Amino acid sequence: MSHSVIRAVNLTKKYDDFVAVDGISFEVARGESFGLLGPNGAGKSTTMKMIASVSTRTSGELTVLDLDPNVDGPAIRSQLGVVPQEDNLDGELRVRENLLTYGRFFGLSRAEAGKRADELLEFAQLSDRANSKVEPLSGGMKRRLTIARSLMNDPQMLLLDEPTTGLDPQARHILWDRLFRLKEQGTTLVLTTHYMDEAEQLSDRIVVVDKGQIMAEGSPAELIRTYSTREVLEVRYGSDKNVSVAALIADVGERQEVLPDRILIYSDNGEQDLAEITRRGHHPTTSLVRRSSLEDVFLRLTGRSLVE
């Protein structure tokens, strides 16, 4: 058995003439937690679907768990837990039945499926809704049920497409904790997210994708070191004045990004830059010095901010 659980070489997906994934190459090691980060339409979900062997690649190579998704979809999926971007729960069944039948799709015995369903209901904090219909559940509850469902087959690898979108902060933290524990037990995690904190918390390694291509790759810390400065100074002058002030302080810091609502100044010493700006008489309405984050890496690489 090779040491990578996913190996993609020049992986490409076209929808008619439109290239959704444009020749990306990456490897994911067993037990690793791997993040795909990118703006809307970057091709993250398409990549996830190809890994889950529910979308056929147009060209390039792809190996998942040493198998070819083109011919071994069922075998690959038997070892995967998939959380699609959109919850697609079975509205004709009740909450617990959703888990049970899903387990049965994998060929679990009734007893085994029942046992796991009860454990996972507990985990998703849905035990008291076990016999409720799916439709009246809140968005966050549905998300939790979808995540619970993905664990029914005790997967070797979890594919999570924006897992915590729609969850409240508490539920997110509980999920992160649970995912962290799965990772400790050796489960490989592949996730896409729009949340920087989520990417930093959960990923050992990240690739930043944009327009179907890989822009950068590395651990969160490496990416920040390579593509950003140590600190960031954020200053606001009001949306009508940001642009004009930015021109006057362009030489401060190493680099500048002008966003509609604020100016970001990248340097190794934000306080010193703030002092310089103030000395020149440009008093911001608010200011903030913070550490660089993946958000800054992202902005640098794609010219766009992640959460749109």
Partner 1 sequence: MSAVTAPKRRFGGMYGGNARAIIERGFKATMTNNYLIILSGFFEPVFYLFSMGVGLGGIIGTIDLNGTEISYGAYIAPALLAVSAMNGAIYDSTWNVFFKLNFAKLYQTMLLTSLGPLDVAIGEITLALLRGGIYAVGFLTVMSIMGLALSPLAIFAIPVVILIAAGFASVGMAFTSYMKTFQQMDWLPLVMLPMFLFSATFYPISIYPEPIQVLVQCFPLWHGVELVRMFTTGVFTAAAWGHLAYFVVMLGTGVIVVARRLRSLFLR
Ligand X SMILES: Nc1ncnc2c1ncn2[C@@H]1O[C@H](COP(=O)(O)OP(=O)(O)OP(=O)(O)O)[C@@H](O)[C@H]1O
Q: How far apart are CA 172 and CA 189, in angstroms?
A: 16
Q: Is 45 in the site for Mg ion (CB under 5 A)?
A: yes
Amino acid at 149: R
Write down the least CB distance from residue 214 to partner 1, Å: 24
Write down the least CB distance from residue 91 to ligand X, Å: 22
Q: Is 40 in the site for ligand X (CB under 6 A)?
A: yes
Strand pairing partners for 235?
263, 287
- 147: number of CA atoms within 13 Å, CB side? 29
Q: Is 159 in the site for ligand X (CB under 6 A)?
A: no
User: Radius of gyration (Cα) for the chain, nearest Å?
Assistant: 22
Q: Which does 74 bind (CB under 5 to 8 A by kind): Mg ion, partner 1, ligand X, none?
A: partner 1
Q: How far apart are CA 207 and CA 9, in angstroms?
A: 14
The one among 2, 9, 10, 15 contacting ligand X by CB under 6 A: 15
Q: Which does 41 bind (CB under 5 to 8 A by kind): Mg ion, partner 1, ligand X, none?
A: ligand X
Helix then strand then coil, in percent of the chain rounded to 5, is: 35, 30, 35
Q: Which does 46 bind (CB under 5 to 8 A by kind): partner 1, Mg ion, ligand X, none?
A: ligand X
Q: Which does 112 bind (CB under 5 to 8 A by kind): Mg ion, partner 1, ligand X, none?
A: partner 1
Q: Tell me the per-residue interface mask from 44 to 63 with ligand X, x by CB under 6 A, - otherwise.
A: xxx-----------------
Nearer to partner 1, 115 or 173 (CB): 115
Of the candidate spans 36-44, 70-78, 141-149, 295-303, the one that interacts with ligand X by CB under 6 A turns out to be 36-44
N- to C-terminal Cα distance for the chain?
Answer: 42
Among 254, 239, 232, 231, CA closest to 285: 239
The one among 85, 256, 272, 305 contacting ligand X by CB under 6 A: 85
Q: Is 85 in the site for Mg ion (CB under 5 A)?
A: yes
Nearer to partner 1, 163 or 253 (CB): 163
Q: Burial code of 147-166, b = ≥16 C-beta within 10 A, e = fewer? A: bbbbbbbebbbbbbbbbbbb
Distances (CA, A) of 307 to 40, 107, 194, 225: 9, 40, 6, 22
Nearer to Mg ion, 43 or 155 (CB): 43
Write down the least CB distance from residue 182 to partner 1, Å: 12
Which residues form the interface with partner 1 (CB under 8 A)? 52-56, 69-79, 82, 84, 88-94, 97, 101-102, 104-108, 112, 116, 153-156
With contacts defined by CB under 6 A, how many residues of the chain interact with ligand X? 12
145 neighbors 124 (Cβ within 8 angstroms): yes
Q: Which does 22 bind (CB under 5 to 8 A by kind): Mg ion, ligand X, partner 1, none?
A: none
Q: How far apart are CA 280 and CA 298, in angstroms?
A: 30
Q: DSSP per residue over 231-269, as a string? A: EEEEEE--TTTHHHHHHHTTTSSSEEEE-SS-EEEEES-
Q: Which residues bind ligand X (CB under 6 A)?
A: 15, 18, 20, 38, 40-46, 85
